Amino acid sequence: MATLDPYALRAEFPALEVELDGVPVVYLDAPGGTQVPRRVIDAVSGYFRESNANHEGAFLTSRRSDETIDEARRAVADLLGAASPDEVKFGANMTTLTQHVSRSIAATLRPGDEVLVTVLDHEANVSPWRHVAADRGLTVRTVDIHHEDCTLDLDDLDAKLGSHTRLVAVGYASNATGTINPVREIVGRAHAAGALAYVDAVHYTPHGQIDVQDIDADFLVCSAYKWFGPHVGVLYGRAAVLDRLPSYKVRPAYDRFETGTLNHEGIAGTLAAVDYLASIGARFGAEHRERFPGAAGRVLDLRCGMAAIAEYERLLAGRLMDGLAALPGVRLWGIRDPGRMSERTPTFALTFDGLHPRRVAEALGSRGIFVWDGDFYAQALIERLGRYESGGVVRIGLVHYNTTGEVDRLLEALDGIVGRIAGGIAASA
């Protein structure tokens, strides 16, 4: 039984008090961006009140601002397991950071070199590599999936890795189907072929522990607004790799990979978001502490917090999966085996016989249940599943502030929606 208390944590999220027609709304849209705890809101507004200044000024508010950014860099390094805060770079979002650093990486490559991307990935970890490949005469090869469970085809990865492979771009988890990739294994195969590994962890970060040193990633990117923070992007780059890359920056810029003035208030909120995740470990992670004997302080709290989150989310996901299995005409794309819950996040891609995904999302939205529909920039995957021309899928995304009661409310609403369609078909027959 999970020990995390979602109701204690929900009290920290003002947005969870929003109502529609006098009934609290249900946020199942987390893969597109999570809600934020009050401490994040306070940190952003507090920055504007007390620290609003540009970098390296000879006065109080500038010093405060720099101290906040430095501490945020240390906090994110703790969250990701980086060896040094200097390996953490901030930017607008994962997409912008990847577009930027891909240019530097490509500058070290030659015509005929190859980059591997995957069908499973968000376009933010595909399109930038195609763009630089077109500019520099590189070849992009795409690793396929197993259609039946939407997992990456590692045999196809091995077949496409070769002496010309210079970079493997892969997601930690699919933002559409929730599939968690065996990232450590994939990074190891990339390195064995002499290639760098670029990991998109945007979808995975709110659901599980990340240790960039353990998985041996050369780069890892994520966005704080997917893990209870503001719209800020994060790039981890291994120092030894970053140091040998050329950079595209204006001459006076103090950092080689951070372009222009940063979103200082957003970075203050990012620090608060990391502290929120650490607080979960301090409050609810006691039973997990023995799993991390070498960790201490904030690092230990973060690892225990993420372990407690993962445990609780598996409980929610199992309840939802059981309920979906009882609904007629509903297909779950991806891993459906309850015994493989550790191989997926609590994100579910669904289609409904006789219903366009947008109609389902609208019907749920009118009941105060917020879900996404479409392709979510996982265009190659939705095309591979044959769903692109028919509107994609309905995406239900759970996080730790969701409850079993909200899952039951969703299932009841879906049962009503599916039942009306089935009744209409029967009547017309």
Question: Do the beta carbons of residue 199 and residue 173 sit within 8 Å?
Answer: no
Question: What pLDDT is recorded for position 417?
Answer: 94
- Intervals of the chain under pLDDT 50: 1, 425-429
In 223-250, which positions are buried (b, 16+ CB within 10 angstroms) versus exposed (e)? bbbbbbbbebbbbbbbeeebeebebebe
pLDDT at 419: 82
Model pLDDT, residue 3:
85
Taking the domains of the chain in order of start, what are their residue ranges? 6-37+311-428, 40-275
Q: Does domain 6-37+311-428 have CATH number 3.20.20.70?
A: no
Domains 6-37+311-428 and 40-275 share a fold: no
**Amino acid 426: pLDDT:** 36
pLDDT at 2: 55
The pLDDT of residue 360 is 97
pTM, whole model, 2 decimals? Answer: 0.96
The CATH architecture to which 40-275 belongs is 3-Layer(aba) Sandwich (3.40)
Residue 1 pLDDT: 45
